[in-house]
Chains A and B, each alone.
Chain A
């Protein structure tokens, strides 16, 4: 059974298109490497950047190991606090991806639920959800994220900001990005609602929620997958932006954005490696995600075949 599923997958249009597109292959390979690095960070890293007793100030601001004055213990050099950049990037990548995936999951769950409800029920529910969505759309995403972030921080006691930072970020980014899902799902739901199989289910007495979850949902998930992929890149970037602005992850638990913020302060001092390496990783990650998302959109779009 599994064997046939596998063969069916290999024979599918999607896989054929994947083999044909070198951007898809390269970007998924890059993502595989980055995800692997993030998942196995504790084993790959040479230092635990969260454990301050491993930071020795004497080793601060060492350049990458291939440059004069570099130290083989610190492959990509160290920052002002003697944090090993290679390890910090691995752990930072981990945080960035966790925030990215979790906020995409939150946004997708929220967007799909609201979109299904709006599209299926119509009327005043639909109008209410879509007007809220329109209002949110009229603001730049980063502004909404800053607002949610600001409120969350205002509500929490300052002591808990550092501990709660990751949850606040997930909430802020998730609440900003659900609109796209909701609009797409609503549109597809309105189309699906008219179709015969839904009518048949209705006649058979299936409840409204049953129809939404069992019948309509599987048929509207295609576009959601595309949005989710592209959104992952956006979410990682938003996280980096917030951290760069100093309202994201704290310096003691740096994400990629935090590392870039710290490095930025030293741009004029000639300590370029603190800002360059995390930036390159961020660019590569977001680029790969976006290229893969683009390919997926084209591959799933019957009109482009």
Chain B
């Protein structure tokens, strides 16, 4: 009798346990977030992960259009002043009420001169509190992309920040840590239960969320798994429900396996090679810098067979491009998408014409843990360049070293990916990658590249409010860059996730995993 009771209890408990665990989503990525402080790093993976906990004033919906979040409406009352009405009755996970002071403290924290995120919200001068639920954003001038910028700036509780001495921002890329690195208190659909850096992040559902959840998750367990093969093995064995990225070389294996499937779509992130056009090469064997010569840059372009790289290394899943932005991004035109064709003979001829019949040595700098198959692409390109007469020296290095070198212009031909996030607008390419470096402009512009017309257009686009005019100015600037071979575009990398069949999740073109749209079917 007692035995039967026990069995019954066990059976009932078992049911409850399975019921609950069915809505736990176990999620694996190639690496961990750089901490949970949403203002500490510009890394888009970290930002989207913290977006589960924190929220911005306005957000992207599943179709990438801006919709209200913590602000319910907004209005441009002067060209340089925008008034936001805040949502009433929102509380933070710790129980604090959301109000205008939180917006003021959070936005000013994000644009603090010390904050690495300041470039993501340019032109904000001050936040003025009108009343508890109304704020004015005071800007330096008209800002056509203000709302796009704001989708990526999350709101923290002012009292909580003060209590833990975290009002000053930290810079996670410099290794700085603070209370906000491992603790979080937001208004979002999930709250942080626990975090063990590089091992496990656990989020649980926020029952008091102001919005109606579209997801049905109760718990998210996120673990970084660095090795491609191990990540796939974890998915196939049922330990993990969602992996991102799913290695392209294993797509066929995953498709063939029972109970799991690939999620694939064309992505927004354009991969390209920057070209040092400064006065000297970092590691050359000739006087001066041959790459300053347009013919040499064109030779480099003709030397690369992107179709073959797409077929072999990207398993036919990348979109070969001549443009620096994806077709979905504002500013794209078909004219700029024309590639110089693969033609090693022409490359050799151009090289000889420029006075380097025997080629010359230069560094080919690549990350080996940042983009889809980055190192493999660079190895293949190095071989192709060598076959066309160049002498590239391949340096495939971890992201920290690679991007530090890019920042310091200690690179000759270097790989960079750009998704124009969070604005989804070609202006981000103009301002960050083509304009002559000055102030907030030209963070990634290759050394020595300066085209006065591009600079003029960039500054024009920044303040132009008429969409038609703005678009044609952007297209003109991008065409100039195309003709100058300022960058050597490669492809748009594919989105490649893999999920258990029970998981439903929309895959937005920006490659960001938004689990508040995920559902688990039983």
Contacts and interface: CB of A to CB of B under 8 A. Distances in A.
Question: Is this pair of chains taken from one and the same complex?
Answer: yes
A265 B379 contact: no
B312 A268 contact: no
B97 interface: no
Interface in A153-169: 158-159, 162
A132 interface: no
Contact of B253 (A80, A264, A270): A270
Contacts of B387: 53, 56
Nearest to B384: A57
A49 to B, nearest CB: 11
A268 B379 contact: no
A81 B382 CA distance: 11
Nearest to A275: B229
Interface in B292-313: 305, 308-309, 312-313
Contacts of B313: 57, 60, 80
A268 B305 CA distance: 27
A201 to B, nearest CB: 57
B383 interface: yes
B349 interface: no
Given A60-B312, A251-B396, A52 B382 contact: yes
B229 A57 contact: no
B383 A52 contact: yes
B401 interface: yes
Nearest to B404: A158
A57 B312 contact: yes
B233 interface: yes
A51 to B, nearest CB: 8
B397 interface: yes
B228 interface: yes
B376 A264 contact: no
Given A53-B387, A81-B376, A268 B250 contact: yes
Interface residues of A, number: 25
B229 A265 contact: yes
Interface of A, helix, strand, loop or mixed by DSSP? loop
A55 to B, nearest CB: 4
A151 interface: no
Given A57-B383, A270-B253, A265 B247 contact: yes
A94 B204 CA distance: 54
Interface residues of B, number: 31
B394 interface: yes
Contacts of B305: 57
A58 interface: yes
B375 interface: yes
A56 B383 contact: yes
Interface string B370-392: 00000110011011101100001
Nearest to A161: B397
A58 B380 CA distance: 10
Contacts of B401: 158
B229 A264 contact: yes
A269 interface: yes
B173 interface: no
A269 B309 contact: no
A61 B226 CA distance: 23
Contact of B395 (A57, A81, A159, A264): A159
Contacts of A14: none
A251 B376 CA distance: 10
A268 B233 contact: yes
Interface in B242-269: 247, 249-250, 252-253
A57 B313 CA distance: 9
A82 B311 CA distance: 13
A35 interface: no
19 contacts: A52-B382, A55-B383, A57-B313, A57-B380, A58-B308, A58-B312, A60-B312, A80-B249, A81-B380, A158-B401, A159-B395, A251-B379, A252-B379, A265-B229, A265-B249, A268-B250, A268-B253, A269-B247, A269-B250
Interface of A: 51-53, 55-58, 60-61, 80-82, 158-159, 162, 251-252, 264-271
Nearest 3 A-B pairs (CB), nearest first?
A: A53-B386, A269-B249, A55-B383
